[in-house]
Structure 1
Amino acid sequence: MSSAQSLIDSGSADIVAGRPASVAHLFLERVAATPNGEAYRYPAPVDEHAADSAPGAEQWRSLTWAQTAARVKAVAAGLMTLGIQPEDRVALASSTRLEWIIADLGNMCAGAATTTVYPSTNADETAFILANSGSRALIAENAAQLAKAVEQIEQLPELRTVILIDAPATAPETAGLEVLTLAELEQRGAEYLEKHPDAIEKTVAALDKEQLATLIYTSGTTGRPKGVRLVHDCWAYEGRAQEASGLLRSDDVQFMWLPLSHVFGKTLISGQIATGHVMAVDGRVDRIIHNLPAIRPTVMASAPRIFEKVYNGIAGRARAEGGAKYKIFRWAAGVAREHARVVQENRIATGVGSAPFGLRMQHALADRLVYAKIRAAFGGRLRGAVSGSAALAPEIGYFFLGAGVPILEGYGLSETSAGSCVNREEDVRIGTVGRPLPGTEVRIAEDGEILLRGPGVMRGYHDLPEKTAEVLEADGWFHTEDIGELSADGFLRITDRKKDLFKTSGGKYVAPSEVEGKFKAVCPFVSNILVIGNGRNFCTALIGLDEAVIMPWAAEHGLAGRSYAEVAADPAVHQLIEGFVKRLNGDLQRWQTIKKFHLLPRDLDVEHGELTPSLKIKRPVVERTYADAVTAMYAGANEA
């Protein structure tokens, strides 16, 4: 295959040669090495009989590796009592919580393959995933997840058993399915292990690295999701590669809130098992701000939207305080970005990251006034925050890096077990997704498409050989459909999705994500933006506002008591956002500029099908939903 550039990490040989056959092997090795080490922390209700307990009060509890293993083995043995055989699919529909990890590890230690299902997935798509995967059992978080299967039971001839993590208060409708709780499954497994104490070890020893371990269904922006076949070797590789890269360390405390049904969250479990560090697990997004100072993580992962919301929140509070405080924040934000840029440029040019004396003094003062408070909000110990699943606006990255909260942007897809490239803490390069993980090859094709090859690449789409052949070549190269470039020293830059690039009627190509990222960096009120212009003679945009930031501004500007939709429709708000659009346009080529925009009456969300569960915009859905607004922006227009 011809290519413009290609690169493989120099540490690949040791990683490829030295890993075990599966994460199940890694897990048993970890338990044997550090049985009494802390493995997981999880929130649990405070004992209601405690003297100082309050209704709904919680506390963090821990499991050692040995205690985790006891539960994992019980789940695995329990599945065996249900007749689950190697490579049988067991679906898992739950929010991020400790039991998700225990169930997934139990599946793998039983030789089964986990089919991941987002808990927010509707009944129709849940049924499609369960049927297409041929899942024989479903581990469901609660009765609501069970009800989705019951609703579509006629489409699920393979499904026989549902295991509920949370026992229902009343007997649910089961439609003839065998239903038991996770606690009951573990009890069955424990009894089985009394008679067959080495059953799990024998099953794990027999696992082949090419056996199916996971089916992750792409959330996709169009059509039915495709089942990505990830084998045991994919996850074993990811664990060892994350460890070898230094991304995760044995002394880390990682805060895990990402959806574990998504490949980004799931791959980090492999890395955690490889290194043996502590993982604090709580998927409740509304608890993130409260959990950070309690957990005090050294590392966490997130989609860019969370960092954008944090930045918008900080900027919004400073604006609300007004006067000197807002001026100080704006000055400090500028210093953070300038300091980060200069240090990065000097590191690239000379190998030494440094800044001039005057800038260092400004940075030190800004640190005392502003940055220290930002770091404290993240718990005070964060050495790196991994960002993935979508592009991070460079200006957001420079701000946090300059404030001492380095965001380590990475890159990967469901089809590559997530982890392909990532920035390292010691060498962050904003605007790139870092260098390849050890053992992963990157190639830039002649048309600019990024190709990946390595142990983390899927073995194909489930029951879709034609679709597999479209993206996976016989020699292992996977076509990402992303456009990018490699620097001379191996840093990968993503410029856009191949499918998302569009050409204006004037023949100019526009990368919408580039424009969208720039706007998020200049406008603290934006939540989502969709740039439109394919075949048109100019670009327009649909913009959703961040309710938590725009509503306080509205209240201060005579719009108190208005709904979000009323605020978005107000001329004063349009004028406010127009000012930021003009700032954006000043940094764009003429054909990229936004000539008109429409403020949405509500922000885009997963519930209306406009965002994927990993918060990517479903462009065709949004354009169809707001087709009238798009038509109105182009009505009677003659601009070149």
Structure 2
Amino acid sequence: MGLGSGRYRGALEMPCSGRRTRHRQAMKFNPLSPDATMYHIFRESAGRHTNLICQRFRDEKGDLQSITYHEFYEELSGIAAGLLALNLEKGDRAALIADVGPRWLRICGALNSVGMVDVPRGTDATAEDLKYILDHSEAKAVFLQNRTAYEKLKDSLQDLSGLKYIFFFEKESNLDIPAEVAALSLEELQEKGRQHLDGNPGAVDKEGAGVVPQDLATIIYTSGTTGTPKGVMLNHSNLAWEARTILHILAEQGTPYTSDDRSLGFLPPWHIGERMWETVLYHCGSSIAFTSITSLSRDMQEVRPTVLFSVPRVWEAMYNKILETVRQASPGRQKVFFFFRKVALSFRFHWDRMRGKTYHTRAVPGILVLLERLFSLVIVLLTWPVFLLSRLAFKKIKGVLGGEIRYAVSGAGALPEHIDRLFAAIGIPIFEVYGMTETSAVSVARLGRDFVIGTVGKPVAGIQVKLLDSQGNEVKKPGVKGVCYHKGPHIMQGYYKDEEKTRAALKDGWLDSGDLLIWTREGLLKFAGRAKDTIVLMGGENIEPEPLEFALSQSPLIHQVMVVGQDKKFLGALIVPDHTGLENQLKAMNLQGAIDPDYYNLNEDIVKLYRREVRSRVASDTGFKSFERIGVFYLLPEPFEPGVELTQTLKVRRNIVTEKYEHEIQNMYRQMGGKI
């Protein structure tokens, strides 16, 4: 069916120009109207990029399939019309319980196009959380990716009196569903939509035209590291403004997305960073292929992405995978790699400093900065030939990641500098952004011209940021920590049905992020931890655990770690060993390799090994104060898992871990078994 005919004509009247013209339009940056809603973004982008590939995904056989922008919008419109046929109305909430994949954006687009509110969550959420979210949001409908999600909800259906519809991604049978709840597959919902449009042409456009920027678009429940999930309310204006602003700053920095770009999607649909990433790509006519963490390496090779978005833990995993592969090579190849890595990291640092692209966390005389830059110029000139050889050596590594990445983006946490610098050295700059669900994704960005490794950059145009100390005074001096407050058109409308928490977070339009940042001498921002995670020792010392955890997690022997010590004399650490790294180290020391993890803490050789490792990573010569040193540790037999000890963005839920391992923590301090 052509775009100019049939039931979808009204939705897609905008002519679609040739590919070359589209490319020029994307390069020039085509802003949306300030009055635009998510309906306009979906409608107009589909019209401009009709025959381009929109999404790619694997079928049941594992083969890559694709759909065009036209096909994407046809399904979106069918779902939207189906919702209207079932008398669902503007403002009604619909939960979306799904993982990464091609359908969730179509469903969100359909809901937003008729003024409904999407409430996304992953299938790995607990049954308790899902019941709470559907009940608290008063969802009238829920979209379920699979039977697994349904099994978590089925015992709660009788208690969800407002729920009227369950929409399964695929046809399901033999389900014990209450009579008052109707169950349909997506295909059945779309068929109802097609029938509805036959009798009501333009129904979706009519509803979409009635949606205004101030209307609520989504309620995203943040699991957080403590407490009950909070429903972050974002309206159409929040999301559309953020998308429009990201497009603008990318174009200004000389790094725009275009219709030639390809990306991979592997983060959950409720992750605000992933949602905004896909929205911006969609507006530009780019394509995205969906994968999983386990299939990431394979799909990197096949899709060959040109741009990529992920979280720090994934970049760390990629970095560690590279090192793990190298350690399996011959001793000679290992020496070559680590030599060139040292050269590349040194060269990259001096290259950046020579160009004034490094930072200082204290006031430094201008003459000293000039001397630093001149010294770095000499180092660059001396090491340039060897660095070129290192680029050749790293070419295979870049090839493992597809070989065509122009740049990547990292968000939802601080990126360790050694990882940041290595990827930059091999030719993959990682643009770091800082924000949160409550800010519709991005408030601060470190992009092309402001690319300074170790910082998160500058506040985005149109957004205000300030740092306040514990007395409420604004911090402007470099190197002094302060809680970051955000203000701008991207700030949430509040927490759904929670005035108390809304008032605590929002004051005079300023959002209290709970994040600690510092200003650099150069006017850039640097992440410094979480104010709420601050550990206060018995002596009154205030310590941010994240820098310590970052330092420890760089060890090949440590997979995960959480620092503890509230009201104790000194800090302790719960360490999840990297079993592969540990076995390799034990073999290298001619010690027993295979040991039951439950007995790690009883093995003197292993305890000594970790004691030495912790001492070397957290010490005065690595930049830590005496009271920040780890006094005791305990080796955990099992890793932290998403949805349990970790949030869905892989941040440690400190209260859960502390509660789960309360006995181990008490014994650790009492017995001093892992004493440093």
Q: Structure 1 residues 29, 490: closer, same or farther in 2, change over 3 A?
A: farther
Are 1:360 and 2:363 an aligned pair? no
Aligned to 1:505: 538
Deviations 1:192-237 (A, max 9, x none): 1122221111111111111110000011112210100010111101
| Secondary structure in structure 2 of the residue aligned to 1:635 | helix
Q: Distance in 2 between the 1:568 and 1:259 partners?
A: 36
Q: Which aligned pairs between 1:194-593 and structure 2 lie closer than 5 A?
A: 194-246=198-250, 249-250=257-258, 251-282=260-291, 284-348=292-356, 356-369=380-393, 371-447=394-470, 448-474=482-508, 476-487=509-520, 489-521=522-554, 523-547=555-579, 549-551=581-583, 559-566=592-599, 570-586=603-619, 587=622, 588-593=624-629
- Specify the code of the residue in structure 2 equivalent to 1:396: I
Q: CA deviation at 1:612?
A: 0.7
Q: Structure 1 residues 190, 613: closer, same or farther in 2, change over 3 A?
A: same
Deviations 1:3-56 (A, max 9, x none): xxxxxxxxxxx99994343121111111222212221112224xxxxxxxxxxx
Are 1:22 and 2:37 an aligned pair? yes
Percent of residue pairs bearing the same amino acid type? 27
Q: Structure 1 residues 529, 35: closer, same or farther in 2, change over 3 A?
A: same
Is the Cα–Cα contact under 8 Å of residues 551 and 618 in structure 2 kept in the other structure? no
Aligned to 1:188: 192
Deviations 1:291-343 (A, max 9, x none): 10111111111121111122222222322335222222222222232222222
Q: Distance in 2 between the 1:548 and 1:18 partners?
A: 53
- Specify the code of the residue in structure 2 equivalent to 1:524: P
| Secondary structure in structure 2 of the residue aligned to 1:479 | strand
- Specify the code of the residue in structure 2 equivalent to 1:42: F
Superposed CA RMSD in Å reads 2.5
| Secondary structure in structure 2 of the residue aligned to 1:208 | coil
Q: Distance in 2 between the 1:426 and 1:579 partners?
A: 41
Say which structure, 1 or 2, has more relative contact order (CA 8 Å, 6+ apart). 1
Q: Structure 1 residues 24, 490: closer, same or farther in 2, change over 3 A?
A: farther
Are 1:606 and 2:642 an aligned pair? yes
Is the Cα–Cα contact under 8 Å of residues 37 and 240 in structure 2 kept in the other structure? yes
| Secondary structure in structure 1 of the residue aligned to 2:412 | coil
* Count of residues paired in the alignment: 610
Q: Distance in 1 between the 2:271 and 2:464 partners?
A: 23
| Secondary structure in structure 2 of the residue aligned to 1:493 | strand
| Secondary structure in structure 1 of the residue aligned to 2:343 | helix
Is the Cα–Cα contact under 8 Å of residues 142 and 167 in structure 1 kept in the other structure? no
Q: Distance in 2 between the 1:303 and 1:410 partners?
A: 10
Are 1:129 and 2:133 an aligned pair? yes
2:655 to 602, 617, 620: 620
1:63 to 64, 67, 82: 67
| Secondary structure in structure 2 of the residue aligned to 1:163 | strand
Q: CA deviation at 1:568?
A: 7.1
Alignment gaps of 5+ in structure 1: 1-13, 46-56
Is the Cα–Cα contact under 8 Å of residues 538 and 595 in structure 1 kept in the other structure? yes
Q: CA deviation at 1:406?
A: 1.8
1:95 to 94, 99, 103: 99
TM-score (norm 2): 0.85
Q: Structure 1 residues 568, 409: closer, same or farther in 2, change over 3 A?
A: farther
Q: Distance in 2 between the 1:74 and 1:519 partners?
A: 51
| Secondary structure in structure 2 of the residue aligned to 1:431 | coil
Aligned to 1:178: 182
Is the Cα–Cα contact under 8 Å of residues 555 and 561 in structure 1 kept in the other structure? no
Aligned to 1:5: none
Q: Distance in 2 between the 1:33 and 1:484 partners?
A: 41
Q: Structure 1 residues 198, 122: closer, same or farther in 2, change over 3 A?
A: same
Q: CA deviation at 1:595?
A: 2.2
Q: Structure 1 residues 528, 561: closer, same or farther in 2, change over 3 A?
A: closer
- Specify the code of the residue in structure 2 equivalent to 1:439: G
Aligned to 1:9: none
TM-score (norm 1): 0.90
Aligned to 2:49: 34
Is the Cα–Cα contact under 8 Å of residues 96 and 121 in structure 2 kept in the other structure? yes
Q: Structure 1 residues 221, 235: closer, same or farther in 2, change over 3 A?
A: same
- Specify the code of the residue in structure 1 equivalent to 2:289: A
Is the Cα–Cα contact under 8 Å of residues 546 and 603 in structure 1 kept in the other structure? no
Q: Structure 1 residues 569, 285: closer, same or farther in 2, change over 3 A?
A: farther
Q: Distance in 2 between the 1:192 and 1:79 partners?
A: 10
Q: Structure 1 residues 17, 115: closer, same or farther in 2, change over 3 A?
A: closer
Q: Structure 1 residues 498, 68: closer, same or farther in 2, change over 3 A?
A: same
Q: Distance in 1 between the 2:317 and 2:581 partners?
A: 9
Q: Which moved more, 1:575-584 or 1:533-542?
A: 575-584
Q: Distance in 2 between the 1:502 and 1:67 partners?
A: 52
Alignment gaps of 5+ in structure 2: 1-28, 357-368, 471-481
Q: Distance in 2 between the 1:44 and 1:621 partners?
A: 38
